[in-house]
Structure 1
Amino acid sequence: MFLKSTLTGLLLAGAAMLPAAAETSYPLKLSNCGIGLSFDEAPESAVTVGQAATEILYSLGLADKVAGTSVWFTEILPEFSETNAGIERLADNDPSFESVVAKRPGIVTVQYEWHVGPQGIVATREQFSDLGIPTYILPSDCTGKDNSKGSDGTRSDMYAMESIYRGVSDLGQIFDVADKGEALITDLKSREAAAIDKAKALGLKDASAVFWFSSAEMDIDPYVAGRKGPPAYMMNALGLKNVVDSDEEWPVVSWETIARANPSVIVVAKMDRRRFEADDYEKKIGFLKSDPVTSQMDAVKNDRIIVLDAHAMDPSIRNIDALETLAGALPKFGLK
């Protein structure tokens, strides 16, 4: 599911009702994922490494500042499709350091620390800094999280939407559009509360779930959501128990273990990426219904399978859309 097409109108209306926000006072100093940043003025341009960062900048009305994008899981939000079509995509997945630097960006905004961090596969923050290019990593990937452990990092604290809101607020200040940042946050918080209230009305007590992102091979152990990432936050908020007991972001867990836990609901990721065969959600569902182990789970037998935008399973503003999708699907399952 995508964010509602009326988002742009809501943001404009919300901004109109807010008191006039003070302009950013430069030099602006911020602490970001353990690194101090200082801006003497709003950046003239940006390159994004990560779809979540791209969609935040677009939502803040900063598409004209974006010189290039990279790391895509699915199609852009529909309200930005025309705008995005006119912006260069440096790579579907990981861009090269050279391709990012060639755009001469005033800032590089990053979704995952493993792309631009101590062992960054694109580059380290120091490499960009040496060229006078500041980097901003969304706080959702470093707040309460150790990216040196596990393939996708390990969380010490439960993920919360506040880390996304912090990123929106920081980028609003950096680009001197704080009023648009606050309007976006207000809208997202309102929708978050409404989705949670809808699920709470079901009074779920014994319902459980597992979130399946993908698998390196269709018939081997899947990558599923750990107990402290965005899907875990969604499950907690909606009254579902996560059957996976791991602090890793996306641990590999055997289907035999999952089947023994017998989750009430299975949530499968839908994405455009085709790195693995299991990136195709229809093949995921086909496997669940045909495999001798998975086909015996109650969720499969009773068709309690929810297809969810893959990008909404990672930290992003789409987490709110995911909450709404889940809250809308749960009532028809008759769970207790």
Structure 2
Amino acid sequence: MRLALLLAATFSLAASMAAASGFPVTVKSCNRDVTFEAAPKRAVSQDINLTEMMLALGLTGNMAGYSGISGWYKMDAALKERLGSLPELAPQRPTKEVLLAADADFLFAGWNYGLKVGGELTPDTLLPLGIKVYELTESCIHIMKKDKSSMDDMYNDILNIGRIFGVEEKAAALVDGYKREIAAATATVAGAGEAPKVFVYDSGEEKPFTAGRFAMPTALIEAAGGRNIMEDVETSWTEVGWEPVIERNPDIVLIVDYGAVSAAEKIDFMRRNPAFKDIPAVKNNRFVILPYAQATPGPRNIEAVKALATAFHPKSN
């Protein structure tokens, strides 16, 4: 009888502690509801932008490591210092074996940001291994219908990661601050005139890889008072032909800077190709460079909107 009472008291205390900490919590990850009984203790983030969301929330103490940065030439000295002793588990994409070796209990990734439809790493393949997954909102278009990309995609991820790790108030404060900064940046271009037509050039020479309707640059460009010429392409990041780029006559080319081919080399390719000589962006030398971490969903989107607003409407800034 005394043992039963002791056990009951223990369970009651555990339940009270869980309730006091805000757990369990359930968040929407793409088209799934994912429940967490407690904050993950051995989390892994995939790619620089997702890793920076974790850093912005001060979650390195809950992480086993990160993945997908150095192999894509995305590491800089400032980020390396912020990561400290946290290990990079894989330079590009982790495998099941890598995650198991790290004793991971959580993966923050996205479709085509480490996860692949029908591939080795999906929420369904990792759940039996005790690894829960939260999917980057921008990437959900690969498995479900969603609205056009917006700043709310990034805000949603920050808030959900905050809930998952029990730092909801910190996440809310971050998002509120981001919203104020964006409001201030967009106010400077309100009524600034016609929105410039912008082409996002990620990579590729034979065919360019670019941002469509559901990729983050569409939201960044619109917030800064511009218009993505590929906004009608019903996907996120994708390959297109050069013909529609030339036909749509962009005023500005936004270069995504990462990888083995530098931003300067991408610009030089467009300048010396006679097919592009009549494009206004090339004729007027209107190229804007964003690092990969600014062009994909994450804390650096705020810097991106400010930089784009200045480039698109210099007379308003």
CA positional deviation for 1:113:
5.8
Q: Could you tell me how far 1:296 is from its partner in structure 2?
A: 2.4
Contact 1:235-1:241 at 8 Å conserved across structures: yes
**Residue 301 (str. 1) matches residue 283 (str. 2):** yes
Residue aligning to 1:136: 134
* Cα 1:257/1:43, change in 2 over 3 Å: closer
- Matched residue type, 2:299: I
Pairwise CA distance, 1:325: 0.9
Q: Give the alignment of 1:304-323 within 5 angstroms.
A: 304-323=286-305
- On the 8 A contact 2:202/2:255 being kept in 1, the answer is yes
- Please, what TM-score do these two structures have when normalized by structure 2? 0.84
- Cα deviation, residue 28, structure 1: 1.8
Secondary structure at 1:269 match in 2 = strand
Distance 2:125 2:239 in 1: 33
Deviations 1:231-266 (A, max 9, x none): 222232233232223112133333232122211111
From the superposition, tell whether residues 114 and 235 of structure 1 become closer, same or farther in structure 2 (CA, over 3 Å).
closer
In the TM superposition, what is the alpha-carbon distance from 1:208 to its structure 2 partner?
Answer: 1.0
Does 2:145 correspond to 1:159?
no
**Residue aligned with 2:28, SS:** strand
Count of aligned pairs: 295
Q: Secondary structure at the match of 1:30?
A: strand
CA distance in 2, matches of 1:52, 1:183: 19
Alpha-carbon spacing, 1:241–1:117, altered in 2? closer, same or farther (3 Å): closer
How has the CA–CA distance of structure 1 residues 201 and 92 changed in structure 2, closer, same or farther, with 3 Å as cutoff?
farther
Matching residue's letter, 1:240 = G
Alignment of 1:171-182 (within 5 A): 171-182=161-172
Deviation at 1:37, TM superposition (A): 1.9
Residue identity opposite 1:288 in structure 2? M
Task: Write out aligned runs for 1:100-249 (5 A).
Answer: 100-112=99-111, 115-116=114-115, 118-120=117-119, 122-142=120-140, 145-147=141-143, 156-202=146-192, 204-205=193-194, 207-215=196-204, 218=205, 220-244=206-230, 245-249=232-236
Cα distance change on mapping 1:193 and 1:77 into 2, 3 Å: farther
Between the aligned partners of 1:316 and 1:111, the Cα distance in structure 2 is 13
Query: Relative to 1, partners in 2 of residues 1:23 and 1:293: Cα closer, same or farther, differing over 3 Å?
Result: farther
Q: How does 1:250-329 map to 2 (within 5 A)?
A: 250-271=237-258, 273-274=259-260, 279-329=261-311
TM-score scaled by length of structure 1: 0.80
Of 20, 39, 44, which aligns to 1:42?
39
1:5-46 C-alpha deviation (Å, 9 max, x unpaired): xxxxxxxxxxxxxxxxx9642222233222232222222221
- Counting helix residues as a fraction of each chain, which structure ranks higher? 2
Q: Is the 8 A contact 1:74 1:310 kept in 2?
A: no
Change (3 A) 1:44 1:251: closer
Shift in CA distance, 198/78, structure 1 to aligned 2, threshold 3 Å: farther
Q: Which has more radius of gyration?
A: 2
- The 8 Å contact of residues 209 and 243 in structure 1, kept in 2 or not, is answered as yes
Q: 2:44 aligned with 1:55, yes or no?
A: no
Cα 1:131/1:250, change in 2 over 3 Å: closer
Q: 1: CA distance between counterparts of 2:235 and 2:106?
A: 30
% identical aligned pairs: 26
How many angstroms apart in 1 are the aligned matches of 2:240 and 2:294? Answer: 21
